[in-house]
Amino acid sequence: MVILAVILAVFVCILTVWAGDYRVSKNEDGLYTVQYNPEDYSYGPTLAPTSHKRKVLIVCLTNLARSPIAESVFRKMIKRRRISDQWEVSSAAAFYWEEANNDIIREALHVIGKIDPDYDEIKRIHAQKTRQIPKDAFRTNDFILAVDEMSYNATLEKRKEWNEVFTKAQVMHFDKLDPMKISNRWFALHDHNFTHFYQRCERAIQAFDTKVNSIM
């Protein structure tokens, strides 16, 4: 029985080390110990590494200002924590908007440029080419984040209309993640409020991460 217990303990140690979370080291007394691998903490306390790539879609009314800003914030956070390869982030519009305010778009692009100069959607936004929520969004995304209640309700309506009620995507909105209210009508925003919205994105995404890690 003793030999069996020793063999089992050795097997568990080998399996644990193989999983990549721990490492074996030898102390001054010649005894072997299992320790956490320090490299596993390079990601920081939030948005932890996952075993599979998660997909998140961020939604606003037009996809020309707020959702691209939120997408840029999300990309910046996962890039800073070196887990960009484990998240796929995109943004879309909950409504079709025929004409947008050029000043609003210009100010939004100014904020996005400060957050993520390499954001690959700048040309599309500058051309006012909105991207609608794709019909497979509720099946292909793990999470859909709406920046306000109007976008949230519109997203749920699309889910119902497209008979996607029982698909996997979890739909959340910033008002629940970040209770601090700001002016949320995109056509009433100016650069000062876009800066506030950027700060709100950081708070909401941090709260989203805490929630996700508690349910996954």
126 vs 98, higher pLDDT: 126
- CB–CB of 13/24 below 8 Å? yes
The end-to-end CA distance of the chain, in Å, is 38
**What is the pTM assigned to this prediction?**
0.70
Q: How confident is the model at residue 121 (pLDDT cuts 50, 70, 90)?
A: confident
Q: Among candidates 169, 178, 166, which has minimal Cα distance to 208? A: 178
User: Which residue bears the tokens 């959702």?
Assistant: 67
Q: Residue 115 is encoded by which pair of tokens?
A: 């957050």
Sequence-separated (6 or more) residues with CB below 8 Å from residue 199 = none
Residue 104, amino acid:
I
Q: Looking at the predicted structure, is the pLDDT value of residue 196 above 90?
A: no
Q: Looking at the predicted structure, is the pLDDT value of residue 31 above 60?
A: no
pLDDT of residue 49: 55
- CB–CB of 115/69 below 8 Å? yes
The mean pLDDT of the chain is 75
Q: How confident is the model at residue 89 (pLDDT cuts 50, 70, 90)?
A: very high
Helix (H) or strand (E) holding 211: helix 191-215
pLDDT of residue 52: 74
Q: What is the pLDDT of residues 107-117, one digit of tens each?
A: 888 888 888 87
